Amino acid sequence: MKVIIAEPISKKLTELIEKNGEEWTVFDTEVPSRDEFLERIKDAEVASAYSVKFDKEVLDNCPKLKYLAIPAVGAGSYVDREYAESKGITVTYCPGYNSAAVAEMAIGLAIDAMRKISSISRELQNGIWDYSPAKGMLLSGKKILLVGYGNIGKTIERLLGSWDVEVKHINSKSNEEELNEGIKAADVVFVCCSLNEKTQGLINAARISSMKKTVVLINVSRGAVVDEDALYAALSEKKILGAGLDVYSNEPLPGESLPENIRRFVELENTVCLTHIAASSLESGEVLGQMIYDNIKSCIDGNPINIFNN
Percent of the chain surpassing pLDDT 90:
90
Q: What does the pLDDT look like over 135-188, one tens digit per residue?
A: 789 999 999 999 999 999 999 999 999 999 999 999 999 999 999 999 999 999
**Homologous superfamily of domain range 99-273:** NAD(P)-binding Rossmann-like Domain (3.40.50.720)
Tell me the residue length of the chain: 310
Check pLDDT > 90 for residue 115: yes
- The pTM assigned to this predicted structure is 0.86
Q: What does the pLDDT look like over 24-72, one tens digit per residue?
A: 999 999 988 899 999 999 999 999 999 999 999 999 999 999 999 999 9
Architecture of domain 3-97+282-300: 3-Layer(aba) Sandwich (3.40)
pLDDT at 133: 59
Q: Average pLDDT over the chain, rounded to whole? A: 95
Decide if 3-97+282-300 and 99-273 have a common fold. Answer: yes
For the chain, what are the domain ranges?
3-97+282-300, 99-273
Q: Place 76 in a pLDDT band, splitting at 50, 70 and 90.
A: confident
The alpha-carbon radius of gyration of the chain (Å, integer) is 21
Average pLDDT for residues 102-108, to the nearest whole number? Answer: 98
DSSP states of 68-83: EE-SSS-GGGTB-HHH
Instruction: Tell me if 78 sits within 8 A of 289, measured CB to CB.
Output: no
End-to-end Cα spacing for the chain = 22
